[in-house]
Amino acid sequence: MSFSLRFLSIGLALSLLALPACGPQPDREAPTDPTDVWRQGPPLPQPVTNNAVAAVARGEEVEVYSFLGLDSTKAWSGVTNAAYRWRMGDEAWEALEPVPGPGRLGATAAVVGGRIYVMGGYTVAEDGTERTVPDVNVFDPSTGTWSRGSDIPVPVDDAVSGAWRDSLIVLVSGWSQNGNVDLVQVYDPARDAWHASTSIPGTPVFGHAGAVAADDLVYLDGAAVVEDHPRYRIAHGGWRGHIDAEGIHWTPLEDHPGPELYRAASGTVGTFVVFVGGTENPYNYDGIGYDGVPSEPIRQVLAYSPIADEWRHLAAPPVPSMDHRNLGVTAGWVFLVGGMHAGQRVTDDVWYAPVELLLKTLF
């Protein structure tokens, strides 16, 4: 099914005209010390990794959220359904009503209409059994309450999500119980309904990273299933999908600079899709690669401009990190919450940066 024609209205046409025509700009006097760009926020109430992150602006307040994930034990029993909120300016995070249902990993979060949609993920049993879940949990920041959306038709975890025009949520590829899927599943919050869009043409993956910038859906790398040992290996390459009334028109991206990425944090910053951290070595959830080698994080911020069709870099946070899902981005701020540091150490770190200052560091 294609994207609904109802979104190609006069209002959409006007919004397209209003988009800033600002691809990568000539380098300006950019801060060279990452601590001049990235600031450290109050720590999470506990170290957590593989959490779904979102940020919402409400009036004068900016709120950052962390949902689900894994605690510092990195054991099945450490998978949590905890939910936390930080209001910028407050000295500490606060615990919220937990995400309904079991704790899970590999979920993703997207914001539409000021509500946060926490989707998919997988549970881990004591015997190691993993189960992909179809859950769509909806958090309303204005009331602090949870509700339930219609289940994902084909449950996925470690998928990429992106919000299109503050109207639809696009869920791309990911693992579904017994293997990766090539599906693009689209959720319409206004109708609480799902439909299928154009499948990805590349290799199905999990742990990839991406986001939607204007009408372009971008994702890269992740882990693919292979025939020999180890069963899961890093996938090389990215894809760009242009969204219109007919569906998604996919084209391969030119190779990005630097290493391939697994479980990087991703989001839309200005007109760029950005990728923070990640690792070259795919792993399950304890940070030990499928090849038996401990995975180590990368310190970088990679940025792709759909307008200019080119890759750039931005100033990276001071500490390398991996095992992320989403960046929180709202009201001119970008947030990196939790994750793993070197030595597969689960962290309670929170880093944030003003978008305007971050974009001045393009190189």
Phi, psi of 239 (to 5 degrees): -135, 150
Residue 228: pLDDT band by 50, 70, 90 thresholds? confident
Q: What residues contact 273, with CB distance under 8 A and at least 6 apart?
A: 210, 211, 212, 213, 216, 218, 266, 267, 303, 304, 306
Residue 226 lies in a domain: yes
Note the maximum CA span of the chain. 55
How many domains are there within the chain?
A: 1
DSSP-assigned letter for residue 324: -
Cβ neighbour number for residue 104 with a 10 Å cutoff: 28
Q: Could you read off the pLDDT of 242-269 as tens digits, one per residue?
A: 999 889 999 999 999 999 999 999 999 9
Exposure pattern of 66-95 as b/e (b: 16+ CB <10 Å)? Answer: bbbbbbeebebebbbbbbbbbebeeeebee
Q: Could you read off the pLDDT of 133-154 as tens digits, one per residue?
A: 999 999 999 999 999 999 999 9
Over 90: is that where the pLDDT of 156 sits?
yes
- Omega into 294 within 30° of 0, i.e. cis? no
Residue 33 has a pLDDT of 72
Phi, psi of 167 (to 5 degrees): -130, -45
Mean pLDDT (whole number) for 193-211? 98
The mean predicted confidence, pLDDT, of the chain is 92
Residue 23 lies in a domain: no
Residue 229: pLDDT band by 50, 70, 90 thresholds? confident
Determine the Cα–Cα distance for residues 237 and 204; give it in Å rounded to an integer: 12
Is 102 within 8 Å of 118 (Cβ atoms)? Answer: no
Residue 32 has a pLDDT of 58
Residue 48 has a pLDDT of 98
CATH of the domain at 70: 2.120.10.80
Mean pLDDT (whole number) for 37-43? 97
Residue 87 lies in a domain: yes
Is 193 within 8 Å of 254 (Cβ atoms)? Answer: no
Determine the Cα–Cα distance for residues 10 and 16; give it in Å rounded to an integer: 10
> Over pLDDT 70: what percentage of the chain?
91
Is 339 within 8 Å of 322 (Cβ atoms)? Answer: yes
Determine the Cα–Cα distance for residues 341 and 24; give it in Å rounded to an integer: 30
DSSP-assigned letter for residue 317: P
Own/partner long-range contacts of 224-229 (Cβ < 8 Å, ≥24 apart): 224/180, 225/179, 225/180
Q: Could you read off the pLDDT of 14-35 as tens digits, one per residue?
A: 333 333 333 333 333 444 576 7
Range of the domain at 62: 5-18+34-359
Residue 160 lies in a domain: yes
Q: Could you read off the pLDDT of 80-111 as tens digits, one per residue?
A: 999 999 999 999 999 999 999 999 999 999 99
Task: Tell me the one-letter amino acid at 235.
Answer: A
Residue 27 lies in a domain: no
Residue 275 lies in a domain: yes
Question: What number of residues does the chain have?
Answer: 363
Phi, psi of 10 (to 5 degrees): -60, -35
Q: Where are the beta strands (DSSP E) in 22-167?
A: 39-40, 52-58, 61-70, 79-87, 94-95, 108-112, 115-119, 122-124, 130-132, 136-140, 145-148, 160-164
Residue 225 lies in a domain: yes
Over 50: is that where the pLDDT of 6 sits?
no
Q: Of 332, 327, 339, which Cα lies nearest the Cα of 303? A: 327
Determine the Cα–Cα distance for residues 315 and 33; give it in Å rounded to an integer: 8
Q: Could you read off the pLDDT of 286-319 as tens digits, one per residue?
A: 999 999 999 999 999 999 999 999 999 999 999 9
Residue 176: pLDDT band by 50, 70, 90 thresholds? very high
Q: What residues contact 102, with CB distance under 8 A and at least 6 apart?
A: 79, 81, 123, 133
User: Is 60 buried (19+), middle (13-18) or exposed (0-12) by CB count in 10 A?
Assistant: exposed
Residue 12: pLDDT band by 50, 70, 90 thresholds? very low
Is 236 within 8 Å of 258 (Cβ atoms)? Answer: no
Residue 258 lies in a domain: yes
Is 136 within 8 Å of 193 (Cβ atoms)? Answer: no
